Copies of this chain bind each other. A is one copy, B any other.
Amino acid sequence: MSNKMWGGRFSTGPDAIMEEINASIGFDQRLFAQDIAGSKAHAAMLATQGIVAGEDVEKIQDGLDTALSEKALAHAATVMPGFTHLQTAQPVTYGHHLMAYVEMLARDRGRLRDARARLNECPLGSAALAGTSFPIDRDMTAKALGFDRPTANSLDAVSDRDFVLETLSAAAICAVHLSRFAEEVVIWTSPAFSLIKLSDKFTTGSSIMPQKRNPDAAELVRAKAGRIIGALTGLLVVMKGLPLAYAKDMQEDKEGAFDAFSALSLVIAATAGMVRDIEPDTARMKTAAGQGYSTATDLADWLVRAAGMPFREAHHVTGRIVALASDRGIGLHRLSLEDMRSVDERITQDVFSVLSVTRSVQSRVSYGGTAPSRVRAQAKRWLKRLQVEAAKA
């Protein structure tokens, strides 16, 4: 008697363990509607390209960017502390900070779009690996199924998993971007910072500590980067060193990829929800923006512009003024003109005009700078571009 599955060549059926390790029913169910050709390679291609990545792109586009893109406009003039090394550096605006993520996400979207343009090829007709002798029209099939073109080499078509690897790379980088925003939510909602507040909707309590309000959603967004990087690493390992053409190893492409794309969709949606939900404490932001001698650079710049010092000297003079204020435990603007002149005589009353955080952010008008006028222009440009893209889609 012959084997039902593999035909006349086989005399017995598979081992139970073999069936288990070979099983991909759970994952293949998700592919049912797309499994036109009965080929897992084709189905994986369709699924990854057609459904998951597409949805993600849309979610990024419609959800998160618009939420950022609007909040940034509303807060183009909301002053907050800008950090480097988590130390207060210079005042920036909350809108400017949010717009930094708009730029990152725009690159993420660009990567997914490039991946789609490059990889949206139809493998149907590659047959087992060598092409077929049946007279088929691969262009027609490709078009009918929504692909841009047929794949150009049948061996490549059944052997490669670029379409998953490139999409996973883009997903991993995007997840890292969102993990950075999530980290900021965790830090900024800590009692010491308290720059923003999440509502109960994105906060959980504790079964032991009755007072707790935990930014769990942000922490999970941060953590999911691990899962997505893990999925990328995993598939790179699987594909490394595989001779052509198809090997069963490639069956491993789907589960990790689906899991990673689901995680990414969720992470994007959760971030969009948080962006909309966050209430910045604008008063506290402004106060914090003025602490830590954040306008010291403005003072140094003033010394260059008004007193004609070389920047190196201005930097040094400012450092000594900061040390003076720090010793007294007061801010720069609380020093008297005499105090300042005790360090350098060229300082005049005019210096006080640059020491406020509002003046500081207003002055940064270089392209890409934090000045409210710049931020508003960028936010409007992006909102318009998103509308144009939404109209096209």
Contacts and interface: CB of A to CB of B under 8 A. Distances in A.
Contacts of A389: none
B210 A8 contact: yes
B244 A6 contact: no
B217 A230 contact: no
Given A114-B114, A187-B86, A266-B21, A318 B366 contact: no
A268 to B, nearest CB: 10
Given A227-B252, A301-B133, A214 B87 contact: yes
Nearest to A263: B21
A134 B306 CA distance: 12
Contacts of A197: none
Given A156-B100, A210-B315, A378-B152, A138 B229 contact: no
Contacts of A132: 301, 364, 366, 369
Contacts of A323: 8-9
A322 B83 contact: no
Contacts of A242: 180, 183
A204 B85 CA distance: 10
Interface in A99-138: 99-104, 107, 110-111, 114, 118-119, 125-136, 138
B213 A270 contact: no
Given A87-B212, A133-B301, A248 B273 contact: no
B184 A187 contact: no
Contacts of A217: 15, 17-18, 21-22
**Best-buried of A160, A270, A365 by chain B (most CB within 10 Å):** A160
Interface in A46-63: none
B252 A223 contact: yes
Interface in A284-343: 288, 291-294, 296-301, 305, 315-323, 326
A344 B324 CA distance: 53
B8 A322 contact: yes
Contact of A230 (B22, B193, B237): B237
Nearest to A224: B252
A84 B239 contact: no
Given A17-B273, A83-B244, A166-B111, A223 B208 contact: no
B200 A3 contact: yes
18 contacts: A3-B200, A9-B212, A9-B319, A17-B273, A18-B204, A18-B216, A21-B220, A90-B209, A99-B155, A125-B368, A130-B369, A131-B367, A133-B301, A150-B368, A169-B169, A179-B241, A220-B248, A230-B237
A186 interface: yes
Copies in the complex: 4
A225 B200 contact: no
A100 B367 contact: no
A367 B126 CA distance: 8
B129 A92 contact: yes
A73 to B, nearest CB: 14
A378 to B, nearest CB: 6
Given A107-B162, A210-B319, A364-B133, A249 B237 contact: no
A263 to B, nearest CB: 9
A31 interface: no
A162 to B, nearest CB: 5
**Best-buried of A154, A187, A241 by chain B (most CB within 10 Å):** A241
Interface in A186-243: 186-187, 189-193, 199-217, 219-243
A100 to B, nearest CB: 4
Contacts of A291: 191
A377 to B, nearest CB: 10
A97 to B, nearest CB: 6
